[in-house]
Amino acid sequence: MPLSNFEISEHCRHLIRCIQEAGGKAILVGGCVRDILLERRIQDFDIEVFGLAPKEVLVILKKCFEDIDLSGYKFGVFKLTSCCIDVSIPRIEKVTGHKHTAFEVQAAPFITYKEAAQRRDFTINSMGIDCTSGTLLDPFGGADDLKAGILKHVSSHFFEDPLRVLRGMQLIGRFHLNPHPHTCNMCQMMSPENLSRRKVFDEFKKLFVGSKNPSRGFLFLQQINWLQYFEPWHQCQQKFPDQWNAILRTLDHCDISGDSNRIAWMCTTLWRQLEGMHIECRNFFRQWVYDEALFRQILSNVTSFANKEVD
């Protein structure tokens, strides 16, 4: 799979050459590999650098680029903001608590690709492409799972981060996947109670913007008993299952363009439909939608529709 076979930015090619000249190995990883196999347009590139220490990688980046975001440096992550490239060092993570951010990170540039990929969430995100040979690196069968439309966790490390459940939710919606039964079982044993509001809502935003069938994400939450953590939805699904399914069908027929408008429309639809069944949800939405401006827009939409109905 030569790099010439798929579209890759010149910035990315230049960085790969610099890494190779310094004695490192550059590997494309994560979502960009998945999108290459699906023949989708790649918006963001993720490069994992093997064989070079973080300080050596930083020297290379400073020679090649000016806009380096170092906020993730302690995790071995560098962001090149103007060209949509994330650069990382293979790392070993050790959980230290129950929160999403409670873990220690140790850079490990000399471990194998399989060892590095073990910390990934799902097999479809665990693949890599060796930028020297063009070889697909797929130690956990991600390509077969992607072809079969299966979402499957990589290892027992999945259990360490409950945000992965919501990541699975939006991937199921965006790529029309079916969750593996073992993955569902693991998800049922997890909860979002220690996740930040921002992290939670960000995954729903990805579902609303990137999926033609967001209902699949909600049905996954229903399947693994996670609707209980979103009380108005759970109440609706339990008391009014037919109406709940109708709400999900409505979300699937959204034809609104523009990311922010689409998100606002989805949230407005959920709110209005639930209130129509006398399910109180204003406090829920106030907590769920962490973005104050977006919440005000949704509230304005709901109020406007209510006023029209009165008139």
**Amino acid occupying residue 35:** D
How far apart are alpha carbons 131 and 13 in whole angstroms? 9
* pLDDT for 7 beyond 80: no
Which part of the chain has CATH 3.30.460.10? Answer: 1-148
pLDDT higher than 60, residue 5: no
pLDDT band at 293 (very low <50, low <70, confident <90, very high): very high
Average pLDDT, the chain: 91
Does residue 3 register a pLDDT over 90? no
pLDDT value at 311 more than 60? no
Are the C-beta atoms of 45 and 129 separated by less than 8 Å? no
List, for residues 132-155, the tens digit of each pLDDT value: 999 999 999 999 999 999 999 999
Token readout for 258 is: 């523009």
Q: Among 224, 253, 211, 254, which residue's Cα sits nearest to residue 162?
A: 224
Nearest CA-CA partner of 219 in 160, 265, 178, 183: 178
Average pLDDT on 235-242 reads 97
The predicted structure's pLDDT at residue 266? 95
The model's pLDDT over 73-90, given as tens digits with 9 standing for 90+, comes to 888 899 998 888 999 999
User: Does pLDDT of 103 surpass 70?
Assistant: no
Does residue 101 have a pLDDT over 90? no
Mean pLDDT of all residues in 209-236: 97
Backbone angles phi, psi at 280, to 5 degrees: -70, 125
Q: Is 96 exposed, middle or buried (0-12, 13-18, 19+ CB in 10 A)?
A: exposed
Return phi, psi of residue 135, to 5°: -75, 135
| Phi and psi torsions of 27, nearest 5° | -130, 125
Q: Name residues whose C-beta falls within 8 Å of residue 155's C-beta, 6 or more positions apart in sequence.
A: 118, 140
Instruction: Residues 1-148: name the CATH superfamily.
Output: Beta Polymerase, domain 2 (3.30.460.10)
How confident is residue 11, by pLDDT bands cut at 50, 70 and 90?
confident
- Give the model's pLDDT for residue 80: 92
Query: CB-side exposure of 180: number of CA atoms within 13 Å?
Result: 16
Strands 150-151 and 178-179: parallel
- Is residue 216 classed exposed, middle or buried when 0-12, 13-18 and 19+ CB atoms within 10 A define those classes? buried
Assess whether pLDDT exceeds 60 at residue 4. no
Mean pLDDT, residues 207-235: 97
Whole-model pTM over 0.85: yes
95 in helix, strand or coil? strand
Q: Residue 302: its pLDDT value, please?
A: 93
